[in-house]
């Protein structure tokens, strides 16, 4: 039986490769991927790809398979270097002399540093490229509701997303079986849920000391999805005087002061707290869609991953933040034509499905089912969405990294109280814009 399956699979792959090769050839003659920058070579036989993943990670295995399939179909060699999460930091110095990478991947937020310096290629041509073996273009399989968040300030796409992410409050559904269907509707409901967890003998929250989600998402619930941009862009700092900023900060401070967070979290890292939560030491963990795949090895027996969104505050905002991981082509890339051909190939349903089935993450294609662990998150993303972190990491990347992020860490770890957070945020913004002008 096993031999028969392998023979059958080999036949299917051979047929698929033949179709893909033919489709790529037809596609290449009509859609001309790689021409969006207008200055790149055509007919490249190889390209270099710097990836954010480590070789043993599920996403890397999906990408490696696609690269092998692509080479078999086209003859174009993919030189993959698994650079890890610091790929953009490593890439940036090489851009001065001509990047050694023709393709990179990371999140919208991380790529924002390149976008802000106009160092990424306009991917409009790629978006118009027909996916090999399919009838739709790359742009057509990406939902229209996502596209505003994939563009630079001039409205041109700089990223081709292969993974969709968001943040949610994660829990073990075996302990809270009705929670996903009946999530808290108000902050008081949320506090009542934490009290219930305490009654079950659980510390309500695991919070990494290097994590800003509680401050960030509470501010967005209180100020609305564009509120963070007002805090960033108001050079007078007056936006920080909005009483809702202090109110949101106090809500976070209260969680800390009430002892709702695992002891010793202040000096911890994300991987530590995620592991402690999965082992049942805390009831809830606010983080991204990557949690089920990352935390599974540490999860207790019978653990059922599920998530809810934070409830509305006074503003009534219940929108869901959305982020993307995907491909970008540096402007200095010498073989962008081959790189963009690979991206179009990877967007095939056959290849991209591995992100859901093997890496347990969401994809941008509506015709690929989400993994069961992310069904609640996927449903939330069908509602109104907003750019993760208010698109700050793209539109105000330097302010966010130098001013906002450190202040949010100081608040969640108790180095500052809510009033100090507001005062520092106001003065820090004034000082930032003075030095930036």
How many whole angstroms from its chain centre is CA 300?
A: 26
Q: DSSP strand E in 52-177: where? A: 77-82, 103-107, 160-165, 167-172
Report the 10 Å Cβ neighbour count for 316. 8
Q: Structure tokens of 158?
A: 């700089």
Q: Convert 22-52 into a string of H (helix), E (strand) and C (coil).
A: HHHHHHHHHCCCCCCCCCCCCCCCEEEEEEC
- Report the alpha-carbon distance of residue 286 to residue 5 in Å, rounded: 42
- Report the alpha-carbon distance of residue 166 to residue 321 in Å, rounded: 6
Report the 10 Å Cβ neighbour count for 199. 8
For 98, left (φ over 0), alpha (ψ -120 to 50), or beta?
A: left
Q: CB–CB of 208/270 below 8 Å? A: yes
Q: CB–CB of 91/330 below 8 Å? A: yes
Q: What is the dihedral of CA 268, 272, 278, 284, to 10 degrees?
A: 20
Q: CB–CB of 421/355 below 8 Å? A: no
- Report the alpha-carbon distance of residue 208 to residue 320 in Å, rounded: 22
Nearest residue to 150 (alpha-carbon basis) of 213, 141, 319, 354: 141
Q: What is the dihedral of CA 343, 349, 351, 354, to 10 degrees?
A: 120
pLDDT tens, per residue, the chain with 437 residues: 333 333 333 333 333 333 333 333 333 333 344 444 444 567 999 999 999 999 999 999 999 999 999 999 999 999 999 999 999 999 998 988 876 899 999 999 899 889 988 999 999 999 999 999 999 999 999 999 899 999 988 999 999 999 999 999 999 999 999 999 999 999 999 999 999 999 999 999 999 998 899 999 999 999 987 889 999 999 999 999 999 999 999 999 999 999 999 999 999 888 889 999 999 999 999 999 999 988 999 999 999 999 999 999 876 888 899 999 999 999 999 999 999 999 999 999 999 999 999 999 999 999 999 999 999 999 999 888 988 888 887 788 899 999 999 999 999 999 999 999 999 999 999 999 999 87
Instruction: Record the pTM.
Output: 0.79
H/E element holding 203?
A: strand 203-206
Radius of gyration from C-alpha coordinates of the chain: 23
């Amino acid at each position: 039986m096993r031999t028969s399956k392998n023979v059958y699979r080999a036949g299917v792959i051979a047929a698929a490769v033949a179709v893909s090769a033919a489709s790529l050839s037809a596609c290449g003659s009509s859609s001309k991927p790689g021409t969006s920058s207008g200055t790149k070579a055509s007919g490249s036989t190889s390209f270099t790809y710097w990836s954010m993943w480590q070789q043993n990670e599920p996403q890397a295995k999906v990408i490696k398979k696609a690269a092998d399939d692509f080479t078999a179909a086209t003859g174009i060699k993919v030189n993959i270097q698994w650079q890890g999460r610091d790929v953009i930091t490593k890439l940036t110095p090489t851009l001065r002399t001509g990047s050694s990478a023709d393709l990179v991947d990371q999140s919208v937020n991380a790529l924002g540093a390149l976008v802000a310096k106009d160092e990424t290629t306009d991917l409009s041509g790629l978006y118009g490229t027909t996916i090999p073996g399919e009838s739709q273009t790359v742009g057509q399989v990406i939902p229209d509701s996502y596209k505003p968040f994939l563009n630079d300030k001039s409205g041109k796409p700089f990223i081709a997303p292969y993974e969709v992410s968001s943040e949610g409050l994660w829990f073990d559904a075996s302990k809270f079986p009705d929670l996903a269907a009946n999530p808290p509707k108000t902050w008081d409901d949320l506090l009542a849920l934490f009290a219930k967890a305490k009654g079950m003998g659980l510390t309500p929250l695991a919070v990494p000391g290097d994590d800003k989600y509680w401050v960030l998402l509470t501010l967005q619930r209180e100020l609305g999805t564009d509120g963070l941009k007002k805090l960033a862009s108001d050079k007078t700092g007056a936006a920080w005087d909005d009483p809702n900023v202090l109110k949101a900060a106090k809500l976070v401070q209260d969680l800390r002061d009430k002892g709702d967070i695992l002891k010793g979290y202040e000096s911890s890292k994300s991987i530590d707290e995620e592991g402690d939560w999965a082992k049942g030491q805390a009831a809830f963990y606010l983080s991204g869609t990557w949690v089920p795949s990352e935390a599974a090895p540490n999860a207790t027996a019978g653990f059922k991953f599920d998530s809810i969104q934070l409830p509305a505050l006074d503003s009534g905002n219940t929108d869901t933040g959305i982020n993307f991981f995907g491909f970008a082509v540096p402007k200095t890339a010498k073989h962008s034509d081959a790189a963009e051909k690979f991206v179009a190939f990877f967007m095939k349903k056959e290849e991209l499905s591995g992100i859901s089935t093997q890496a347990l993450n969401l994809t941008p294609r509506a015709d690929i089912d989400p993994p069961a662990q992310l069904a609640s998150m996927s449903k939330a993303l069908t509602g109104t969405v907003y750019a993760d972190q208010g698109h700050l990491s793209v539109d105000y990347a330097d302010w966010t990294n130098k001013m906002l992020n450190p202040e949010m860490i100081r608040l969640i770890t108790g180095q500052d109280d809510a009033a100090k957070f507001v005062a520092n945020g106001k003065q820090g913004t004034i000082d930032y814009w003075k030095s930036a002008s």
